[in-house]
């Protein structure tokens, strides 16, 4: 019996646990990220992943530090590394793809411009604070 692409992906990837989302959010907060939130994209049903985790920072140096800290904590606590990432060269907006979770780390002005939360307005949003 042939599986659909979605069924094949589901077999290959375990569903992200709330622990993984928490690890990412805590790593962001450790480096003083602002407006940390996750979007549950499973219900809208038209997304390339299950969750976005989004934050912003005021400088490229801080954006890069947040990304590095997320990678370190996700590997240490969850044994997961990103499949790919983009944006580290200029650190305006770093995207880290964990398959079922995509992390977006913006410089503040870029987050205000792109407003990802508004694009996925139907998604359930969870805010994280220290």
Predicted TM-score of the model (pTM): 0.86
**Statement: residue 13 has pLDDT above 50:** yes
Residue 17 has pLDDT above 90, yes or no: no
Which of 111, 119, 127 lies closest to 46 in space, CA to CA?
Answer: 119
pLDDT of residue 43: 83
pLDDT at position 28 over 70: yes
Among 53, 93, 89, 56, residue whose Cα is nearest residue 73: 53
- All structural domains of the chain, each given as residue ranges with its CATH number in brackets, are 17-118 (3.30.460.10)
């Amino acid at each position: 019996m042939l599986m659909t692409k979605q069924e094949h992906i589901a077999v290959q990837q375990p569903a992200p646990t709330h622990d993984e989302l928490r690890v990412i959010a805590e790593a962001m907060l450790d480096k003083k990220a602002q407006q940390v939130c996750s979007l549950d994209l499973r219900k809208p049903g038209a997304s390339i992943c299950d969750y976005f985790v989004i934050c912003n920072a005021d400088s490229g140096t801080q954006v890069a530090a947040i990304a590095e800290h997320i990678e370190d904590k996700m590997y240490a606590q969850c044994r997961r590394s990103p499949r790919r990432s983009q944006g580290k060269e200029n650190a305006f907006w770093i995207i880290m793809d964990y398959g079922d979770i995509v992390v977006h780390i913006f410089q503040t002005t870029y987050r205000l411009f792109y407003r990802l939360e508004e694009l996925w307005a139907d998604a359930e949003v969870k805010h994280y604070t220290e």
